[in-house]
Amino acid sequence: MSPKNYNVAVKTCDPIVALAPPPAVNFTNGTGVSLASFNQPNVFWTPVAVRATTPAEDWDADVFSLPAGGTIGICLNNFLANSANGVGSTDFVVGDFNFVPTGTYYLRASRFSGINNGTMEHFPGSQTLTLNAPAQIRTKPSSFLVESWDVLLTAGQTYSVIFGHDGGFNVKADVFKSTGGVFWGGRASATFETDRSMSFVAPTSGWYGVVVVNDGGSGRSTSA
């Protein structure tokens, strides 16, 4: 009978880094995992995001509600949502704090591909878009990852999302519908994502979340 292999190692959980409000925070972790906490005190939609510093690589985002007691290799506990959008994009998880209890939550950034570092950012939502008001204009550095607004919409009505940006600024707007209850979701769970203005019919009534996400490129102006 031929010999067989086994392996054994002893590891610790990575330290949890407290994320302050923007700007984004660069991190280095040779294990390919970085843990962070973020606090949301406001009753608004709010995202937390991660992006590889090298465009050809990929970091994913998972959000949990507890800082310990998770399965081996995960460390955090009570999984809420994840985002795994692929190479060359920013992953984010958003919570609807109109219903989610305010407080501290936890991000697990994990390197899906590559060998280099990542960037993460929590945007503590507190902004509102008023219907038919002038577009809000933002000038952002290339390091920014996400920004969010709440907007109150009515089911069955048609709305136009006015969204524009300078050339070379790889930003998109993601719109998340109100579920009327607790909601956590990744980027892929948006009602729609667009890099230009578009119209849609609101499927539900309530406070929607509008998240602008930066997939990289030079920092320029955006409007929402």
**SS in 3 state form for 125-175?**
CCCECCCCCCCCEEECCCCCCEEEEEEEECCCCEEEECCEECCCEEEEEEE
Spatial distance between the Cα atoms of 148 and 218, rounded to a whole number of angstroms: 20
Question: Does residue 116 contact residue 171 with C-beta atoms inside 8 Å?
Answer: no
Query: Quick one: what percent of the chain has pLDDT higher than 70?
Result: 96
Q: Is the pLDDT of residue 69 over 80?
A: yes
Distances from the Cα of 6 to the Cαs of 2, 9, 68, in angstroms?
14, 11, 28
CATH fold for the domain made of 137-223: Jelly Rolls (2.60.120)
Prior bond of 101 cis (ω within 30°): no
Query: Averaged over 50-61, what is the pLDDT?
Result: 93
Q: Pinpoint the residues of the chain covered by CATH 2.60.120.380.
A: 16-122
Least confident interval from 16-30, 48-62, 125-139, 186-200: 16-30
State pTM to two decimals. Answer: 0.91
Taking the domain 16-122, which CATH number applies? Answer: 2.60.120.380
